[in-house]
Structure 1
């Protein structure tokens, strides 16, 4: 631990922990064993970091939302997870074990991420979203609030999702509707998914699609607006790949 860092006496630090220069560990933080924290990193109060986690430089974990007065629950980072540089993880976010969070990613409050999941560089995961196990969300993806991404889903670079069907033109408050990607669902590079869309089990929206309707199970859609292209080939089905 570097003398330039500030570590609260109320925090609990495990064995073999490395903390870089000018980092701050706030009150009631719990850090497990064999954890590495880079330079200029802030771990906000109450955060729990499990064993064998790596957090790179200039990262902030446990950020409180600026627009909410209510104190959020602490962040939890699961064991063996690696977090890149300039990442912001808000309070109330729960990251599972053996995840990889790339540089400049943003993960908002009340987000849950399962085990073995990848969040790519500069990806943004908005609030009140759940992401399953073994999910790949790649570079520059935007996952809108109130979304659900199930296990084994794949979201290619540059995908944009949305949740406001009125595009901010409603006189009265509306219920925002995020996207729902079921088990093994996939979205190709640069696709746009409109509010409330369901991509059913192993459905696939091809690259560049504008998806205005639900994508059926084991169906590939493409185009603007997206329409059925063909059924999913047998050699792309997960049960033929994972066994």
Structure 2
């Protein structure tokens, strides 16, 4: 498979771009920054217009970005991951296989998002308990989202919070404390109202909307 790079984009020296990848117009791939580490992107990537990806990232196959996505340095990103338009992923972030980050999201440094997690539009993760504190760099703590969890649009997750596997965070929820696996949490501050096992199909179909937590990712 051939790789296609627009002549209107910049792919820096030290970038390894896998076979069958496409780099659309006005992208900057391997932008120099705090690290001079090489950037490795797996086969079949699609980097859409105005994507900026700093040097020092390790990214698996079938990576995709929307338009105007920004990915900073020193991140580890798995296979079949997508980052939507206008989203920002800061440095030292870990994204597992098949993670979906939708448009206009903010994923700060030290965040961990495990495989099969889904991040809805305009979700904000945070990592600074006291912004502008003189010691903020020593007390930052990223959010950890476990496998298969789903975060609804416009939700905000506070620093250091852990979202359990398969949990669902409702749209607009502000999550201030850890969430149990399989919990459904809504409101401000977020409160558990039920579990995913208790959810029913709003269209009246005879099926469970989500599989048991233990089966998430098993067929991937």
Query: TM > 0.5 between the two?
Result: yes
Cα distance in structure 2, aligned partners of 1:128 and 1:42: 23
- Residue 174 (structure 1) shift: 2.2
Cα drift, residue 176 of structure 1: 1.2
Aligned residue number for residue 21 of structure 2: 53
Q: 2:170 aligns with which of 206, 213, 237?
A: 206
- 1:119 Cα shift? 0.8
> Computing the radius of gyration over CA atoms, which structure comes out larger, 1 or 2?
1
| Displaced runs of 4 or more, over 3 A | 170-173, 240-243
C-alpha distance in structure 1 between counterparts of 2:88 and 2:191, whole Å: 27
User: Is the 1:164–1:176 Cα contact (8 Å) retained in structure 2?
Assistant: yes
Structure 1: gaps spanning 5 or more residues: 1-32
Determine the C-alpha separation between the residues in 1 that align with 2:50 and 2:168: 32
RMSD (Å) for aligned C-alpha atoms:
1.7
Q: Identify unmatched segments of 5+ residues in structure 2.
A: 199-207
- CA shift, 1:171, in A, is 5.1
Identify the residue that residue 12 of structure 2 maps to in structure 1. Answer: 44
More relative contact order, 1 or 2 (CA 8 Å, 6+ apart): 2
Note if contact 2:147-2:216 (Cα within 8 Å) is conserved in structure 1. Answer: no
Q: Does 1:237 align with 2:211?
A: yes
Return the alpha-carbon distance in structure 2 between the equivalents of residues 152 and 172 of structure 1.
31
Q: Distance in 2 between matches of 1:167 and 1:176?
A: 9
How many residues end up aligned between the 2 structures?
Answer: 207
Alignment partner, residue 35 of structure 1:
3
Offset, 1:99: 1.8
Describe the shift of the 1:186–1:172 C-alpha distance in structure 2 as closer, same or farther (beyond 3 A). closer
Alignment partner, residue 64 of structure 1: 32
Shift of 1:173: 4.7
Question: 1 CA distance for matches of 2:72 and 2:126?
Answer: 16
Answer whether contact 1:204 1:215 (CA < 8 A) is retained: no
Q: Is the 8 A contact 2:148 2:217 kept in 1?
A: no
Deviation (angstroms), 1:118: 1.1
- Judged with a 3 Å threshold, the aligned counterparts in structure 2 of structure 1 residues 164 and 215 are, in CA distance, closer, same or farther, namely same
CA pair 232-168 structure 1, distance change in 2 beyond 3 A: same
